[in-house]
Amino acid sequence: MAKSSAAMPVNPHDKNRVTWKKDWARNKTVYFVFIPVAIYIIITHYLPMFGVVMAFQNFSLAKGVFGSRFVGFDNFVELFTGDAFLNAFKNTAIMSAFTLVIGFLPGIVYALMLSEVRNKKFKRTVQMISYLPNFVAPVVVTNLVKLFLGNDGPLTALLTTLGLPQQNWLANADPPVFWLIHTFMGIWQSLGFGSIMLMSAIAGINGDLMEAAAIDGATCMQRIMKITIPCIAPILGMSFVLNVAVSFRTIGGNVLLLYMPQTYSVADCLYTYTHRMAFGSAPDMGLSAASNLFQSVLGTVLLIGGNILAGKINSDARLF
Amino acid sequence: MKRILSWLLLLCLLAGMLALTGCSKDDEKPQEAEQNEQTAGSPEEARTFSYLLDKGESTEYYLNYEDNPVMRYVAQYKTFEDATGTSQSVKMSFQIPPSGKELDNINLLISTQSYPDVMSMTYYGGSLAELYECGSILDLGPYIDQYMPNYKAWLEKNPNVITTTPVGDKNMQLSLVGIRANVTPYDLFAGWCYRRDWIVRYGVQPDTFFDPMKDTEPRENPRAGQQFTGCYTLDVNGNAIESAVLEENVNGDSWVDDVVFPSGHSDPIYISDWEWMFGIFEKALADQGITDGYVLSMYYPGFNQNGDLVSSFGGGCPWIYYDAENQEAKFGGNTDNFKAYLQCMNAWWNKGWLDKQFAERSGDMYYRIDDVAVRSGKVGFWQGSVSTLGSRIANESLPFTKGAVAYGAANPINDIYGGDEQKLKIPDTFYGAANYGGGVVVTDKAKDKDLAILFRWLDYFYSDEGAMLMNYGLNAQQQAQLQDPTYLKYGVDAAYTLVEKDGKQMVKFHDLLKVNDGNIRTAMNGSRVFGLSNPLEIDYGDTQTYIDHCIGQWSLYEPVGFMALYPFNNQLPAETVQSNNKVYSRVINEYMYVQVPNFIKGKKNFEADWDTYCKDLNKRGYQKTVDAMNEAIQKTLGN
């Protein structure tokens, strides 16, 4: 009996068969290896969560978390009744939508196009070039954008020759100028690097399928539409869910370096608002913490919602 | 084998982690250890202190402020009595915040309790009372009485100056303020500047003269339409020259001309004078083919909350100012005066006189004016420091700066915009220098050290000898003794000499230090620490008349409305300081910075949008701050 049991493959997720003790005995090396990781996550990700207390305090730098006065939901009342926060929320939603709708597609198209290139040398060179912007520091990228779109920048000069008025485009508060600049800057930065996952997914598609379709007379476009895209759909779905979830947290890193009071109406987002409240000329840590907590809760809701939505479209696309 | 490998891997991982933890512990040790070990009690440690300054010097001069010539001299040659009555030297180390991050730095130090023994509070927006209540800073009163005779003497001589902070029912000395023995116009760091040479080169005599505060009707100008004349009278070496057209190797401070403004004065007094001048600057730009220049470089984002220029339109400033006549604080961001100011700016914007990007220069330094364009000679009028006056912007590689002569101008008197209440009123609120300001605190980190020697060291800079060192640097004898490498590098044998002028003893700087270009003078003296400023007057030699005239224009009127000149802020309770910061952020940073440029650029209409703007401002709670300030004013006046 014991012999046959040992020979049977054990499903580690089968709770009826494997107790925690047995699992520990069998995999304790793995658990030992995981301990430092768990400690790291607890220390750097969970313990700081205690800081959310600040969102419910009239926080004073001198008094700290334990000495500051508890004010309940006052910071949230101030947050939701102030027009700056609502404007930031609106802009975050719009910029997230722009990034998801306009920013998601070029990566797919780029990966599909590159997967059709047969000359390996050319393919690798193009890939390498497209990865580079991802390794350029955001502060350098934003400075380049400032130079190119400034009053005398080369892109401004190009747009002026096309009949648009000469101006510092980053100071233009008319929608959707800033939103487009932000979206295209993001595309330029992440196009190559973001396509790595898709490229590997495409590379994993069984070559026989493509060969058979080609023999049957399918055109290149038909092969992409009928084979490639369905095959990478789970990856696309998962990537989309992740993008939705993190969009409310990531929109703003570049904006912080690009925006100015003149463009608050279109550029100020939750990230920049939170940062400004914490590190502006008159810091209000309580309000900043409230804004940040709201951002986190919203991100979590979006992650769960996006995951459910992705699962409904394609069950393999669910992240959890 | 697999199992052995796994265990080996695990051991490596753990060893790696321990090593990393060990490294990080070592890295953190100096800070932690310094804090704790300093309190340990060896005599030398008890005399070792740290001091947070507002600003350091360029690395061109030295890397650390401990290498400042004055600090080196004090460390090597001055001794102070310690708690046991023995004369000892003090080892002071200095911390300098990263430029532009002063506020973040001090907030970080306070929130992490990693502050030094002595700390300048210039950039701290919070409440001193709160820091005291938390035990972070000491009550300096007893120490001032016991160890600071020079500082105490000044306080006793100036009983009207309030340097205390209310904590509960008591008024406490929580900070040591910087004191100015003489408040001179030179303490103004900046003012309006304009290209006087452009008026001579591109302007002509006005047709008539009319001073709206003196004349009843215009007077004919007998020289109407004639060219102005102007010339330099000295070369760079101070030798007299005759040629009026010589533009190279000249001393811009020696410029003389016959410029007369439409008000009949040789300096611009009224807004109408400014507009006449702007017309000439427009022509100057066109004639020189400067397409990327403009007439007026405005401060970002179109107004200055201190009140400069805004105050010209009936007084006050766009934030809180002191109405000296009625002895009360007022908010000026929604007044008719500010509206008249904005209407004037809007008119100038429509005429194309303003820097088109005035509201976009959020990252530039110094009121975010366009310093690059100014120093390229492409701007006619700007707010700048002494370093842009005379021919100081002249640069051989920049053609439009050739022969540049910049004069100082006073805040103007409005005679055009708004109603009677806004016209012909003397400006009363703008940046001004007070006879005391700023402050340093001594923190709880120093309480177990030798406080007697620390306070005596701090007091030294309020003494006559210490103040001379701090303000003017090393004299010949001191430099001969110290042989300071920075002085040697720049060939300065003495930073100053004492001269007798008009029966007074005055300071005459070494030629290299006459103008504080690149902060060279500041690098040679010790003025980054707090103490007694301006113990003597300064003789500026051949540039005296010129500089006096320019700075005289900047200080033509008294900034009686400028709140920072009064001690009211020190009297505010902790909660009020926090509340005021919030209101300031909501009113100025979050609202006016966004809306005001729209009025100037014409994107908002004065008829249709002004009332909404005022209502929105009211909602942001400035009245609470005004009331708090008035309460402090009444309390102060009552005292």
Domain coordinates in residue numbering, chain B: 40-183+435-534, 187-312+334-422
Residue B362 C-alpha, separation from nearest chain A C-alpha, in angstroms: 6
Domains B40-183+435-534 and B187-312+334-422 belong to one CATH topology = yes
Burial B367-399 (b: 16+ CB within 10 A, else e): bbbbbebbbbbbbbbbbbbbbbbbbbbbeeeee
Determine, for residues A282 and B589 on separate chains, whether the beta-carbon distance falls below 8 Å. Answer: yes
Degrees (nearest 5) of the Cα angle B291, B294, B295?
145
Which of A30, A166, A170, A260 to probe by mutation at the B interface, max B CB count within 10 Å? A260
Asked whether the bond before B268 is cis by omega within 30 degrees of 0, the reply is no
Pairs across A and B, CB distance < 8 A: 85
Q: Which residues of B touch A171 (CB under 8 A)?
A: 357, 359-360
From A312's Cα to the closest Cα of chain B, the distance in A is 41
- Mark yes or no for CB contact B134/A84 under 8 Å: no
| Cβ contact, residue pair B103, A281, below 8 Å | yes
- Asked if B582 reaches chain A (Cβ–Cβ under 8 Å), the answer is yes
B594: closest CA of chain A, how far (Å): 5
CB proximity A63 to B under 8 Å: yes
- As a whole number of angstroms, the distance between CA B179 and CA A286 comes to 36
**pLDDT recorded at residue B41:** 61
Cα-Cα-Cα-Cα dihedral sign, residues B271, B277, B282, B285: negative
Q: What's the mean pLDDT when you consider all of chain A?
A: 86
B3 touches chain A (CB under 8 A): yes
On whether any CB of chain A is under 8 Å from the CB of B134, the answer is: yes
B18 touching A (Cβ < 8 Å): no
Residue B206 forms contact with A (CB below 8 Å): no
B111, B359, B589 member nearest A64 (Cβ)? B111
Instruction: Find chain A residues with C-beta within 8 A of B301's C-beta.
Output: 261-262
CA distance B620 to chain A (A): 9
Amino acid at site B289: G
pLDDT of residue B187: 66
Q: Label residue A212 by pLDDT band (50, 70, 90).
A: very high
Q: Which value, to the nearest 10 degrees, does the dihedral of the CA atoms of residues B417, B420, B424, B428 take?
A: -90
B483 sits in the region (left: phi over 0; alpha: psi -120 to 50; else beta) called: left
Residues on chain B touching A61 (C-beta within 8 angstroms)? 107, 110-111, 126
Selecting from A36, A61, A168 the residue whose C-beta is nearest the C-beta of B111 gives: A61
CB contact under 8 A, A284 and B582: yes
Cβ B360–A262 below 8 Å, yes or no?
A: yes
Angle separating helix axes A229-250 and A285-313, nearest 10 degrees: 170
When comparing pLDDT for A160 and B245, which is higher?
A160
> Nearest to residue B596, comparing CAs of B411, B339, B413, B416?
B339
Q: Check if B114 contacts A (Cβ < 8 Å).
A: no
pLDDT at residue number B185:
61
Q: What percentage of chain A exceeds 70 in pLDDT?
A: 94
Work out the pLDDT band at A4, boundaries 50, 70, 90. very low
Whether domain B40-183+435-534 has CATH 1.10.10.10: the reply is: no
DSSP state string for A12-78: TT-TTT--HHHHHHHHHHHHHHHHHHHHHHIIIIIGGGGGGGGGGEE--TTTHHHHSEE-TTHHHHH
Interface of A with B in 263-282 (CB under 8 A): 264-265, 276-277, 279-282
Give counts: helices (H), strands (E), chain B.
21, 23
Look at residue B595 in the predicted model and tell me its pLDDT: 93
The minimum CA-CA distance between A218 and chain B, rounded to whole Å, is: 49
**For residue B504, what pLDDT is reported?**
86
pLDDT for the residue numbered B27: 40
- Walking along chain B (639 residues) 10 residues at a time, the average pLDDT comes out as 57 52 39 40 85 93 95 96 93 92 89 94 86 93 96 86 82 88 69 94 96 95 94 81 70 87 97 98 97 90 91 95 92 96 97 91 63 91 84 84 90 97 95 79 95 97 95 96 96 94 88 82 94 86 73 89 77 77 88 94 94 93 90 76
Dist CA B301 CA B367 (whole Å): 9
Chain B interface includes A58 (CB < 8 A): yes
What would the pLDDT profile of A269-303 be if each residue is shown by its tens digit?
999 999 988 887 778 889 999 999 998 898 888 88
User: Which chain B positions have a beta carbon within 8 Å of A288's beta carbon?
Assistant: none
In chain A, where are the structural domains located? 2-70, 74-317
> Is there a contact between B113 and B70 (Cβ–Cβ < 8 Å)?
no
Fold of B187-312+334-422: D-Maltodextrin-Binding Protein; domain 2 (3.40.190)
Rounded to an integer, the average pLDDT of A25-32 is 91
In degrees, rounded to 5, the angle at the alpha carbon of residue A94 between the alpha carbons of residues A92 and A97 is 105
Q: Is B123 on the interface with A (CB under 8 A)?
A: no
Answer whether B362 sits within 8 Å of A261, measured CB to CB. Answer: yes
Point out the residue among A170, A265, A280 whose CB comes nearest to the CB of B585: A280
Query: Does residue A168 sit at the B interface (CB-CB below 8 Å)?
Result: yes
> Residue A15: what pLDDT?
53
The CATH number that domain A74-317 falls under is: 1.10.3720.10
- Closest chain B C-alpha to A262 CA, distance in angstroms: 5
Q: Is A85 on the interface with B (CB under 8 A)?
A: no
Nearest-CA distance B422 → chain A (Å): 28
Q: Which residues, in sequence order, are CB contacts of A87 under 8 Å at separation 6+?
A: A264, A265, A268
Residues A108-124 have pLDDT tens digits of 899 999 988 888 899 88
- Our CA-based measurement puts residue A299 at a distance from the nearest CA of chain B, in whole angstroms, of 26
ipTM of the complex: 0.75
